[in-house]
Chains A and B, each alone.
Chain A
Amino acid sequence: MDFLELDAVTKEYPNRSGPPARVMDQVSLSVRQGEFMAVLGPSGCGKSTLLQMAAGLLPVSDGTVRIAGRRIIAPPPEAVYVFQQYTRSLLPWRNVRDNVGFAIEHRLGRRRAREVAEAQLDQVGLEGFGDHFPWQLSGGMQQRVAIARALAAEPAMLLMDEPFSAVDALTRLDLQALILEIWARRRLTVLLVTHDVDEAITLADRIAVLTRRPARMAEMVEVGLPRPRDAVATREAPQFLALRRRLLDRLLLRHDG
Chain B
Amino acid sequence: MRRPVRFSSGVVLVAGLLALWEVSARLDWMQTPNWPPLSQVLAALARDILSGELPELAGGTLLRMAAGLAAGGTAGVMVGLLFATLPLTARLFGPTVELIRPIPIPAVVPPLVLFLGLDDAMKVTVVALTAFFPVLTNTMQGIAAVEAETLAMGRTFGIGPLRRALRITLPAALPYILAGLRVSLALALVVAVVAEMIAGEQGLGHYLVMMQFAGRAPEIYAAVVALALLGYALNRGFLALERRAIHWWFALGRQAEG
Contacts and interface: CB of A to CB of B under 8 A. Distances in A.
A28 interface: no
B159 interface: yes
Contacts of B157: 75, 80, 102-104, 106, 153
Nearest to A107: B158
Give chain B's interface secondary structure class: helix
Interface in B138-175: 147, 149-150, 152-153, 155-160, 163, 167-168, 171-172, 174
Contacts, number: 58
B190 interface: no
B251 A89 contact: no
Given A57-B152, A81-B152, A135-B252, A75 B158 contact: yes
Interface residues of A, number: 24
A79 B155 CA distance: 11
B41 to A, nearest CB: 46
Nearest to A103: B157
Nearest to A95: B248
Interface in A104-158: 104, 106, 133, 135-136, 153
B246 interface: yes
Interface residues of B, number: 22
Interface string A80-109: 110101001101110000000011101000
Contacts of A79: 156
A57 B158 CA distance: 11
A135 B248 contact: yes
Contact of B155 (A57, A103, A104): A57
Given A57-B152, A83-B152, A92 B158 contact: no
Interface of A: 52, 55, 57, 74-75, 77, 79-81, 83, 85, 88-89, 91-93, 102-104, 106, 133, 135-136, 153
